[in-house]
Amino acid sequence: MSGVDSEEGQAYNTLKSLFEQTRKVYSRDSPFIDAIAIQMFQSNQQEIIRKANIATFISSILGAHDVSFFHLNEFFMETFVPLGNRLLKWQGAIYLELKTQAYISALINSDGHPAAMLDELFPPDLDAQILTRHPDAPSLSPSEQDFVDRSKARKHYLLAEGNADVALKELPKKYQWTDFAREFASCISKNVDAIMNVPVRTQTVQSALERKANSVSDNTHSLALLSSATALSNVHIPKDGDGTSKKSSAVVTAPSAGPSSTVRQPWTKPEEDALLSGLERVNGPHWSQILALFGRGGSVSEVLKDRNQVQLKDKARNLKLWHLKMGKEVPHALKGVTGELRKRGGKSARAAAGEEDAEGGDDDIGQVSTGGSRRKKTKKGS
């Protein structure tokens, strides 16, 4: 953006001002809105508030809002991990780096003891705090356990720096703010659709929230103004006179909204490789187990985080059919996958795949497939 006097800059400042005025109606003492504190228990109200907090969080990291590290650390989980959801691997990565930046800032701006500051940022009950986000699933996912383990290791490393003067000199070099801001923007850009369209929370959590509400006034009209918050992450942030933001030496533009989740996304080579690897690892078409390895919060990676069980089944079936049609040997990983050629030559092709008599079953999703339901065999002449 050329500057605050440009047409885009003026439009952004107008939107920012409107957003700030509306936000202060609900939260004057904190830059983030606490839905429970203002007795907003309905799911649509909480979702609007969450998106408003996302706008505040993102624009703060990118320099448009002056929010303390204390508030950023305190509201990270509530903002990015709604109730009933788990901390994903990419979220844990930026949360860990945010805590590290908060510690460096505390060293620079306060006289507190390093050990005490680290205990506040990396509390002993960090795992218990994460579990409060999904009370209906009282165990850590692999990605959450990984975050807890890495947090312990980072705390130990930072504490081992010992002398505060040495830490003040070395840590800002090792953990540069510009690197964090760049990585943060990259993570947001890659996951913007998942951030703005989180799965509906479980009925257990929803009921627990609504039971707390004795009487909730209808603030839908006022809260609707906060929905403009999402636009804050879709515009460029104006630069200061020297071309820098308050926190970073180079302003990174926030991402635009990603494609709708209903749009059919072509499969990438890494996704296909992960699918085949998953079939090998779990020894067959066990789709839920494959997603546990490569889906959201996967123990191996999150390459398949945007795929569901039906999509895995359809893709595996299509890969198998491609090999059969081309007369190629079906890879071992695909031999247990359903799929056969029904045209001339199909029988010999199936025999080559080792499945002339029967096909492998799918344990997780039964007969459901976007490719069509199975047909019942009929007697000849019927």
Q: Where are the alpha helices (DSSP H) in 85-241?
A: 89-109, 114-121, 126-131, 142-160, 164-174, 177-190, 192-196, 203-211, 220-226, 229-232
CB burial of residue 236 (10 Å; 0-12, 13-18, 19+) = middle
Tokens of 44: 């649509």
> For residue 184, what pLDDT is reported?
94
Residue 93: pLDDT over 70: yes
Burial tier of 127 (Cβ tally within 10 Å: 0-12, 13-18, 19+) = middle
* Nearest CA among 16, 88, 87 for reference residue 52: 16
Winning range, highest mean pLDDT, from 99-103, 210-214, 343-347: 99-103
Length of the chain: 382
Inter-residue contact 73 to 125 (CB < 8 Å)? no
Distance between terminal CA atoms of the chain? Answer: 72
Dump pLDDT digits (tens) for 334-373: 988 887 766 544 454 445 545 444 444 454 444 433 343 3
Mean pLDDT computed over 67-80: 91
Token couple for 196: 């703005």
Percent residues over pLDDT 90 in the chain: 28
Alpha-carbon dihedral sign for residues 299, 305, 308, 313? negative
